[in-house]
Amino acid sequence: MRTAYTADQIRAAEHTLMATLPPGTLMQRAAAGLAAACAALLGKVYGSRVVLLVGSGDNGGDALWAGERLARRGARVAAVLAGAKTHEAGLAAFLRAGGRVAERDALGTADLVVDGLVGIGASGALREPYAGLAEEANAGRAPVVAVDVPSGVDASTGRVEGAAVRARLTVTMGALKTGLLVDPGAARTGRVELVDIGLGPHLPGPDVAALTDGDVAGLLPRPGNESDKYRRGVLGVLAGSDLYTGAAVLAVGGALRAGAGMVRYAGPAEPVAQVRAAWPEAVITPLDRPSIEDVGRVQAWVLGPGLGTGDWAHELAAQVLGTHLPVLVDADGLSVVAGDRSLLRRSAPTLITPHAGELARLIRAGREDIEAARLEHARAAAAELGVTVLLKGSTTVVAEESRPVRVNPTGTSWLATGGTGDVLSGVAGALLAQGLGPYDAGSCAAYLHGLAGRLAADGAPLAAADVATAVPAAVRALTART
């Protein structure tokens, strides 16, 4: 599992470690790792032209000390001093090694730019001259290496307010920062390389975590010799309507492909016909009234994709959420509970899977505000509503009160197409029915869904049904890698 921390957590760990070491040790460790990463990206160091963007803080010091190392290896290194002050020892060493101070026009001839403008303590929009330098670095032809975090990205949240560096590579010191894993900041980090400076023993519990292949493979339920279809998990799906038949087909397909022992689908006549044709494995219950009495025994429910938002949907939601079973609420189900949040007052496990617009309606927030601060709003929603929140988007996050937010590292932009969320609901519902709690079910489902999307797309457009079809391949890929 990859873990990440806020700026405050990192600074506290650094303070504890620095008390045990000679002055400047951590900066030298950081500079050594940064210089090595820059050299690897350059390929040929001797004669290359490197420009350092140097701010007032320790990031500027790291850049200068790394520049000193590169200069001693024959690189032509220039430093643009953007701050009101400069790290004195770093600048002196840099100049002794043959580095020079330059104006910002040096960016035009650089082979590599090192962003040491601001560090993990910065928040809010970049001011001048930092904002202008960030934009010039982005516009140039040279790759940019960011020190710790790209300038303009909030290290603790991933928020970006105004100009921000777009790095080819981010060399981060001691531990990953939360903002490197969460959009919009994550979109500006490029590849992330971690330099070990000895913080590990001094770090607290993580702020966020990202599962790995091995983590997910270890959490996924596997059938044993004694398994039968009932022991493998029976999922009830209430989805689809005469208007939105495809949502039912996709949710059922996602559940079957994710290993549910049985899927019981219940709905109106038109989606019943579509599900029966697409998935003969599903057990079908036609509904001529909004009642779950005749559906049969299930171990978890998926409620909402394409269900509609009228009285029919509200009655089904009230019945399902009135049970003691785990329930996943998605799509139209979220619109129903947004209009009657008392439906979510339950003691049984509840997983909601909104996109930003749906969460905005649920917690009475602005969609743009949620997109800008995904972690903050997912955490707030989990606490306010008493549920587990899987917030879909460019960075999918899973929040549950009193636990680190899980950030999903898989996926592809090709997943931004209609119906893929219905497949995700089915996958997560199947995992709930197989015994995972909402936190693990949501995290593993997002991981599998993202991996299936990559496999299905393979660099080309996909349809939602392709994602459902690729879920078994995603599971096999995890098994092969671990």
Q: Which residues make up each annotated binding site for (6S)-NADPHX?
A: 58-62, 119-125, 130, 148, 247, 306, 355, 422
What count of other Cβ atoms lies within 10 Å of the Cβ of residue 291?
Answer: 13
Confirm if 320 and 448 have CB atoms less than 8 A apart: no
Q: How far is CA 71 from CA 48, 58, 67, 99, 104, in A?
A: 10, 20, 6, 6, 19
Q: Which two tokens stand for residue 449?
A: 């869904």
Helix axes 269-278, 245-257, angle to 10 degrees: 40
Three-state DSSP class for residue 290? coil
3-state helix, strand, coil in the chain (%, to 5): 45, 15, 40
Nearest to 165 by CA among 191, 194, 189: 189
- Binding-site residue ranges for K(+): 59, 115, 151
Query: In terms of Cα–Cα distance, which of 386, 317, 389 is closest to 360?
Result: 389
Rounded to whole angstroms, the Cα distance separating 272 from 394 reads 33
Give CA–CA dist 168/460, Å, rounded. Answer: 24
Q: What is the DSSP string of 196-234?
A: --S-GGG--S-SEEE--HHHHHHHS----TT--TTTT-E
Asked if residues 331 and 304 have their Cβ atoms less than 8 Å apart, the reply is yes
Give the containing element (helix H, strand E) for 362: helix 356-363
Give the sign of the dihedral formed by CA 16, CA 20, CA 26, CA 27: positive
Cα–Cα distance between 388 and 437 in angstroms, integer?
10
Residue where the block lists tokens 């016909």: 273
Q: Give the count of beta carbons closer than 10 Å to the beta carbon of residue 474.
A: 25
Q: Which residues carry a binding-site annotation for AMP?
A: 392-396, 421
471: nearest Cα among 436, 431, 423, 429: 423
Pick out the residues of the known binding site: 58-62, 115, 119-125, 130, 148, 151, 247, 306, 355, 392-396, 421-422
* Cα–Cα dist 425/192, whole Å: 31
